[in-house]
Structure 1
Amino acid sequence: MTTPAPVRVAAVDLGATSGRVMAGVVGPDRLDLAEASRFPNGGVSVRGSVYWDVLGLFRGALAGIREVAATGDLHGIGVDSWAVDYGLLDRDGVLLGNPYSHRDRRTDGVAAAVLAEVDAAELYGVTGLQQLPFSTLYQLVAARGTAALESAQTLLLVPDLLDYWLTGEIGAERTNASTTQIYDVVRREWSHRIAGRLGLPWSILPALRDPGTVVGGLLPEVAAELGVTTEVPVIAVGSHDTASAVVGVPFESPRAAYISSGTWSLVGLELDAPVLTEEARLADFTNEGGVDGTIRFLRNVMGLWVLSESVRWWAATGAPADLPALLAGAARVAGGIVVDIDDPRLLPVGTASDPMPARVVALAAESGQELDADPVAIARCILDSLALAYRRHLRTAAQLAGHPVEVVHVVGGGSHNELLCQLTADACGLPVLAGPGEAAALGNVLVQARTLGADLPDLAAMRALIRATHELRRYRPGEGPAPLDWDRAEARLRG
């Protein structure tokens, strides 16, 4: 019996602050990942609105894929990105303007207007999503009456848009579609009823496809630019980056939770069915589609965005902004000052009159806490606040789902933040297994590899391969800096 040849693929993984293309090789007892290229990303402000430079992202993706192809075989391409943001195509398939960023303020107040038209319990019962002010649904409602929406023939979420430019094929991958608040999480199809109730053109919603579906071969002009044949398939992966990241969580116990830690933190459980109870709705938990029909029962947390935006401001104003030095200093200072890291005032991009560090200091003052404006003190406050939010939401998730938790997996960029991982173990009173940092790219690669014939029949096999090939770091409660009284911190925050 011959051993299957390894497959080598390009994983395009787009984040809100950067994009990268990874070369992944999968074979028996082998899972290699190497960065081929990285390029910056971020919202572009024009006349008071915030957009994504999606053409720049496509250019960066092509350059990275070309590098993967130039350094070895290329058997497949997959794209994942953040959720909810979209581009509109006209009847000729041409993009109608740059996609808005979900951090744009055009959705301010829209959620309240929608909930005056559609009952919140009804909306949750169909979509299973927590109330976030920037969902695709709210963005579309904000766009009602605009020339772009009235001219649109098709809506494509960001990874589906890149897949379209690569292949010419139109469609919507389910894990990302499930984040839009226009998707029926039980029926696993678009909710034309919700769209119609709100006067939205549901005909612009494309046909759905599952992770692992071959989208199509490359367009001839794209293949020529990449130096490959048109037969290289583009494969729909878990195109919401968290869906790919959860594939990359190396669960070692069924009683486990995950935190996908990056610009956003996604805190939750992997389940077989959605939890659509009134208690789950009031707790603001979300049910998003996962690979192989699973459900990501989770809570969105503001995440390391608050720290990265603070660092950006400090760097712009000449204050200390070296992140490793800030984290080292934060580990040495006394902690315990916390803010509500989910406060919506922490969502927008900072401005000269309203910088992120000042917002954190002001939020602390609102609960009677005096936070020094020193960058180290603010960094420690942000990390303590994140750990406290993780504690709160993991306990709530376990209770709502009837799913006991004995270990917490932290994946994504935040898994490299040793102080945050230790604080998470301390706050939750549970061991934390950190890694892999590249969980989203690994999940992308593994779904592609299975489609291409690798012996990975299910998620368990994919995760076993990760455990066998990647080192995880374990953090135990009480092994880090002087422990905090987390109950007291929670009480102080809640007044």
Structure 2
Amino acid sequence: MSGTPAAYAAVDLGASSGRVMVGRVGPGTLELSEAHRFPNRPVRLPEGLRWDILALYAGVLDGLRAAGQVDSVGIDSWAVDHGLLDADGMLLGNPVHYRDSRTEGVAEKLWATLPPEELYAATGLQYAPFNTLYQLLAARSTRQYASAARLLLLPDLLTHWLTGTEGTELTNASTTQLIDPRTRDWAHGVAERAGVDLGLFAPLRQPGDPAGLLRPEVLEETGLTGPVPVTTVASHDTASAVVAVPAGNERFAYICTGTWSLAGLELTAPVLTEDSRAANFTNELGVDGTVRYLRNIMGLWLLQECVRAWGDPDLGALLRGAAAVPGLRSVIDAGDPAFLAPGRMPERIAAACRETGQPVPGTPAETTRCILDSLALAHRRAVQDAQRLAGHPVDVVHIVGGGTRNTLLCQLTADACGLPVVAGPTEAAALGNVLVQARAHGKAGDLADMRRLLARTQAPTRYTPQGDTARWRAAEARYGRTPRATPAGPVRTSQEQHHAGHLRRPADPGHSRPPGRGRRSP
């Protein structure tokens, strides 16, 4: 590794905002600064909910202009969503938002010919109604789909506009439900039985692969001096966030917190058992041959929607009020798909408490405490279930992403899991993006070296578990310990990738970043 620090632009897109960060990497140096932040405002059209992809691209160009001269550019975003291009490379309409209702009932039709047990055994992906596979089946009868010659996942679409090249990055491709996690290649049998033409997809790319150079028009627009390479990173934001877990040799679980909570383990092989499917764990691919074995939990979306409904209260005061509310008074299932859609979240949480015979939260502080207790409980269940299903015990839980700013949630997670929690870095997805670029350009070592650099240069906070976990076990019994399965088989929880996120204001509730990813974070 050469000694002069280099600068890398990390384009980090979440479901409610995007930003361009600049990372500087050298021997013993890892610095990150924000160049530009811009909103991501989906638009509800007569035909449904759509992403404003042109506004996102304009934000990326503005961010690159603000970043100044850099040695490389990398892009990560949420998962599953995509754009369709015609034979001339023209985009066929705005990409559909994963929360759009077009996939309702689609999975059940597929299971009639491709049972969920077989689908999981082949792809290892948890059931979520918006997985790319179901989106494609929902679109199959449309003129847009009939005209499509190419499908590009959103980070690959933006890379295509920046460089003119086409590719499908592997960690994000693994969320489509069309990748075999054992071979790390397309699941040809699944595609054939589902009637999906894999020829729509561009060739697979690995994190670290070159993705072309910024086009002359982009250089002119941004004021950069070429050549400037674009480097393929772990373009699923959660995959980038997991790169930035500052773990050493300890056995660890991770939780990428934001609009979604992605909780699980880093493994060397997928877990494809029926028990794993029934528990709704997913096997998504990470860097360097790793598997992200995790469960998707609704995450801070619950609080974001409540804050929006309450009219932007002071978040600090709200969390202080929640800390004063007795713990575990009422809990909800943070994986219940009843909470997936936006709108009227405080009323829906109250109804869930009422239906389960628990005290109904009467104030914003009580509702907030209910949400945070419920998220900590969901984190506990996910960490415990992952260890059991994978035969992989852990000694510590690393929390990364925007939720690390929520000290009450971090402490409650330590209490619920009965394990120490190490919280940080907050900007995990952007840091993972930067580090993969740096390694590709000779400025960082392997995954272990990258994590050692993170541990030396970032300042995580450690939380020690307090109290007896017996009260958390009792709370679990109120609505059942594991996510419930539908009669057809798959589990009724949700996924994204979100991405690490954090509450700032109702218009941008997820980003310091959002989801889930938030993470996330699909």
Could you say which TM-score interval applies, normalised by the shorter chain? over 0.9
Cα offsets for 1:446-483 (capped at 9, x unmatched): 000111111x221000000000001010111117xx98
Instruction: Say whether the 8 Å CA contact 2:250–2:396 is kept in structure 1.
Output: no
Matched, 1:140 2:142: no
One-letter identity of the residue aligned with 2:327: G
What is the CA–CA distance in structure 2 between the aligned matches of 1:11 and 1:62, rounded to whole Å?
12
What is the CA–CA distance in structure 1 between the aligned matches of 2:144 and 2:193, rounded to whole Å?
20
2:449 maps to which of 456, 461, 479: 461
Question: Counterparts in 2 of 1:26-425, with a 5 A limit?
Answer: 26-47=25-46, 49-69=48-68, 73-315=69-311, 321-336=313-328, 337-350=330-343, 355-425=344-414
Question: Counterparts in 2 of 1:436-451, with a 5 A limit?
Answer: 436-451=425-440
Instruction: Say whether the 8 Å CA contact 1:335–1:484 is kept in structure 2.
Output: no
Instruction: Say whether the 8 Å CA contact 2:418–2:469 is kept in structure 1.
Output: no
Moved segments of 4+, more than 6 Å: none
Q: What is the alpha-carbon root mean square deviation over aligned residues?
A: 1.5
Q: Give the match for residue 499 of structure 2.
A: none
Q: Give the match for residue 491 of structure 1.
A: 477
Gaps of 5+ in 2: 482-522
Percent identity, aligned pairs only, is: 57
Instruction: Provide the aligned length of Structure 1 versus Structure 2.
Output: 480
Shift of 1:484: 8.1
What is the CA–CA distance in structure 1 between the aligned matches of 2:2 and 2:103, rounded to whole Å?
54
Cα offsets for 1:251-303 (capped at 9, x unmatched): 13431000000111100100111111111111111100101111000001111
Query: CA, structure 1 residues 332+341, in 2 after alignment: closer, same or farther (shift >3 Å)?
Result: same
Shift of 1:361: 0.8
Query: CA, structure 1 residues 57+117, in 2 after alignment: closer, same or farther (shift >3 Å)?
Result: same
Instruction: Say whether the 8 Å CA contact 1:104–1:348 is kept in structure 2.
Output: no
Query: CA, structure 1 residues 220+438, in 2 after alignment: closer, same or farther (shift >3 Å)?
Result: same
Please report the TM-score for the alignment, with normalisation by the length of structure 2. 0.90
Query: CA, structure 1 residues 446+390, in 2 after alignment: closer, same or farther (shift >3 Å)?
Result: same
Shift of 1:195: 2.0
Instruction: Say whether the 8 Å CA contact 1:248–1:463 is kept in structure 2.
Output: yes
What is the CA–CA distance in structure 1 between the aligned matches of 2:146 and 2:280, rounded to whole Å?
32
Cα offsets for 1:137-165 (capped at 9, x unmatched): 01111111101111101111110011001
Relative contact order, CA 8 A, sep 6+: which one is greater?
A: 2
What is the CA–CA distance in structure 2 between the aligned matches of 1:404 and 1:387, rounded to whole Å?
19
Gaps of 5+ in 1: none
Please report the TM-score for the alignment, with normalisation by the length of structure 1. 0.95
What is the CA–CA distance in structure 1 between the aligned matches of 2:149 and 2:189, rounded to whole Å?
19
What is the CA–CA distance in structure 1 between the aligned matches of 2:414 and 2:463, rounded to whole Å?
6
Instruction: Say whether the 8 Å CA contact 2:267–2:290 is kept in structure 1.
Output: yes
Instruction: Say whether the 8 Å CA contact 1:269–1:297 is kept in structure 2.
Output: yes
Shift of 1:376: 1.1
What is the CA–CA distance in structure 1 between the aligned matches of 2:129 and 2:172, rounded to whole Å?
17
